[in-house]
Amino acid sequence: MQMSVQLPDWLTKKIPCGSIPTENILNGLNLNTVCVSAHCPNRGECFSKGEATFMILGNVCTRNCNFCAVQKGRPLVVDLEEPKKIADAVREMGLKYIVVTSVTRDDLEDGGASQFAEVARLLRKFFKYDIGIEFLIPDLGGNWQALELIVRQDINVLNHNIETVGALYPKVRPQANYGRSLELLKKAKDIKPTLFTKSGLMLGLGESEKEIIQILCDLRKAECDFLTIGQYLRPGPGQLEVKEYITPEDFEKYKTLALGMGFIGVASGPFVRSSYNARSLYESGN
C-alpha cells in the first residue's frame, strides 16, 4: 500500500495543558512510566487528568521488540523501594484505579513476578478496596509458577498484550511467542477463574482482516474478557514503519465483531492503547 507522509485527519491530536503536576510527582519519586518510555501519544492527555501507567523493574528491557521505543540493553538492579514509591504516588495523585506494567526482565528467575506481588500487597494494605488494580505483565518466559504468584494477588485485572497476529511475530516480536502469550491468558483463568483478563492488539503492521478475526477468536478461546485495539504509530526511526492507517470505521467494525464473540468490554480506535482509559473499560464490564 502506498503510504502518505501526512497523517490522516483522524490521527491529529491536540496536546492538552496541565501535565506538570503529574510529572512533578513522578519525577519526585523517581518512578518510570510506559507513557514516557514508550512515547505514548496519549501522554499529555493522561498526565493532564492526573493519570499514568507505572512501569516497574526499571526502564531497560531485555528484549528487542521492533515496535517499541523502550530502551533495550543491560537491565538495572531491581529497586526494592519501588512498590512503596508507587503507593506514595497513588496517595499523592489521588488515584482510584491503577495500571502497573513492567519492562521484560528475562534476567530475573521469576521475570519480576515478586515485584508485582509486592506492589499488589502494599496497595491493598494501604488503600484496601478503595482502589482498582490492573497489572499489564510480560510473558515471564513461560514461567507459570511466576504467573501464579501474580494471579494469586488481590487484583482486578490481569492484562497481557498479544500485540499482533502470529505471522508477524518474527518481525515484530522476535523474542516472544504467539502461542505462549495465549497460553498465559488461559492459564491465568485456570488458576483463578474469577479474575478478569485483558489483552491488546495494534493494527497497521501489515496484518490482514482474516488474521485479525483469527486473533480475536484465539483470544476468546483463551477466555480473554477485555480487549483493546489501536493503531500502531511508529515511535521513532529505530522502529518498524507503519504499513497501513486503519480508519475509524474499521476500528468500530472490529469492536462490533469482538463484542459479538463474547468479549465483555472492548475499546477500539486509532489512539486506543492497552492502559488508555483502563478504569472506564473495566467498569463497562461490571
Domain that holds residue 170: 15-284
Average of pLDDT values for 226-234? 96
Report how many domains make up the chain: 1
Task: Determine, yes or no, domain membership for 33.
Answer: yes
pLDDT of residue 5: 52
pLDDT tens digits for range 232-254? 999 889 899 999 999 999 999 99
Could you tell me the three cell numbers for 33? 512510566
Q: Is the pLDDT of residue 271 over 50?
A: yes
Q: pTM here?
A: 0.95
Q: Is there a domain that residue 129 lies in?
A: yes
Residue 130 predicted with pLDDT over 60: yes
Mean pLDDT, the chain, integer:
94
Residues 6+ positions from 250 with CB-CB distance below 8 Å: none
Q: pLDDT by residue (tens digit) across 169-195?
A: 999 999 999 999 999 999 999 999 999
pLDDT given for residue 88 in this prediction = 98
* 196: in domain: yes
Residue 29 maps to which CATH number?
3.20.20.70
Over residues 144-164, the mean pLDDT reads 98
Residue 9 has pLDDT above 50, yes or no: yes
In a domain, 32, yes or no: yes
- The per-residue pLDDT for 175 is 94
| Dihedral angle sign, alpha carbons of residues 35, 95, 130, 28 | positive
Tell me if 56 sits within 8 A of 163, measured CB to CB.
Answer: no
Q: 203: closest CA among 101, 272, 261?
A: 272
Chain Cα centroid distance, residue 188: 16
What average pLDDT does this structure show over 21-38? 95
Query: Do the domain assignments include residue 276?
Result: yes
Establish if 9 belongs to a structural domain. no
Over residues 204-228, mean pLDDT: 98
Sequence-ordered alpha helix ranges (H) in the chain: 20-28, 34-37, 43-48, 82-93, 113-127, 144-151, 169-172, 178-191, 209-221, 248-261, 278-284
> Which range is least confidently modeled, 105-109, 119-123, 226-230, 281-285?
281-285
115 part of a folded domain: yes
Find, among 47, 42, 2, 46, the residue nearest to 270 by Cα.
Answer: 42
Is position 8 within any domain? no
